[in-house]
Amino acid sequence: MPFEIYCCDLLEKSYFCSIANNSSRVQLPHPHQTISKRMMEQIQTIEGKVAAAILEKNIGSIEIGGKTYEIAPPSVGTLILVSELVSMLPIVERVPNEKIFNSVLHHARHFKALGDICAVLILGAKGLTEEVEETHERRVWGVFRKKYTVRRTIDRQSELARLILEEVRPSILFDVIVKRLKDMELGSFFSITTSLSEANILKPTREVV
């Protein structure tokens, strides 16, 4: 009889292994049977996801405006930042196909935050800024040259958001946002929040005298 291993995507197993919506099921043969190449690749893929999450390794790269950006692994912090940005977008009602043209022209000016949403999904919560050191040189009394170092913070989110709005087509923007949101493991986050909300509702309240 074959053995079965249940593995949760990325780090889910480390804190909420009971969440089943993102679980992957790998079936291993009996010890006396030979493990197929495909089965080994499946196991290695799961192990790779777990290792990538633990080591906070980037999961890919994307080129925008001639510059390559590393795609950060999913995190709760990134998801929360995206949620904050999405909450600032206006609500656009669905319209018949013949009215889409007018609707887009009317509402487009309110959606500059789409660049920031996509930038945060790509860079991740920890990669939105970067500290750099720059070495400069100046003359002292017009004779001696003295070097000094200046530290400054680069706003990578604003830089990438601007490039996205200027360089990326709407169809590509849509594909990138949808793909990154799928990588965010929304099902697991939803399970966590609903479980905790239910626990909070069931929590006994203290009577006020």
User: pTM value?
Assistant: 0.65
Range with the lowest mean pLDDT among 32-36, 158-162, 178-182? 32-36
Q: What is the mean pLDDT of residues 128-136?
A: 87
Give the number of other Cβ atoms within 10 Å of residue 49's Cβ.
Answer: 19
Residues 190 and 5: their CA atoms lie apart, in Å, by 24
Tokens of 40: 């080994």
pLDDT, one tens digit per residue, over 33-72 is: 454 566 555 545 555 555 555 545 677 899 998 899 999 9
Q: Tell me how many degrees the CA angle 32-35-37 measures, rounded to the nearest 5.
A: 160
Residues 62 and 66: their CA atoms lie apart, in Å, by 10
Residue 11: its pLDDT value, please?
34
- Identity at 190, one-letter amino acid code: F
Backbone angles phi, psi at 87, to 5 degrees: -65, -20
DSSP letter for 149, please.
E
Residues 146 and 136: their CA atoms lie apart, in Å, by 8
